[in-house]
Amino acid sequence: MKPTSLFCVLLGLALTGLADKTCTPSFDYCSDQLLSTKGFSENDLKSALTGTGYENEDLNNILFHCTNPGAVGHAKLCSGGCKDSAQEGSHGCDG
């Protein structure tokens, strides 16, 4: 394999890993959906909580707002836990 071909393959693999995180901007998501179906890792979500005051909260009690297709922010603490919905992006706080 030529060095340029190998580079293209490696670059493609790297970009594929970056493109795995997806969410619809302006929609809200519970952590379980972001982790199981949207390609986010626990570290991604914990990083999004930096500076919010929610860094030590259980991720199951956080409602994340999608700010860009691969980014979440504007975290909201749900004292009763985050409530999943059958409709995309319609998640909210339980109780």
Note the pLDDT tens digit of each residue in 4-17.
444 443 444 444 44
The answer to whether residue 9 sits within a structural domain is no
The answer to whether residue 66 sits within a structural domain is yes
The answer to whether residue 15 sits within a structural domain is no
The answer to whether residue 10 sits within a structural domain is no
Comparison of pLDDT for 89 and 52, the residue scoring more: 52
Instruction: Determine the structural domain holding residue 63 and report its residue range.
Output: 21-93
Count of structural domains within the chain: 1
The answer to whether residue 43 sits within a structural domain is yes
Apex CA 67: angle with CA 65 and CA 71, to 5°?
Answer: 95
**pTM here?**
0.75
Task: Specify whether the CB–CB gap between 52 and 64 falls below 8 A.
Answer: no
The rounded distance, in Å, linking the Cα atoms of 78 and 30 is 10
Three-state SS at 61: helix
- Going along the chain, which residue ranges are E strands? 28-30, 62-68, 71-77, 82-83, 92-93
The answer to whether residue 8 sits within a structural domain is no
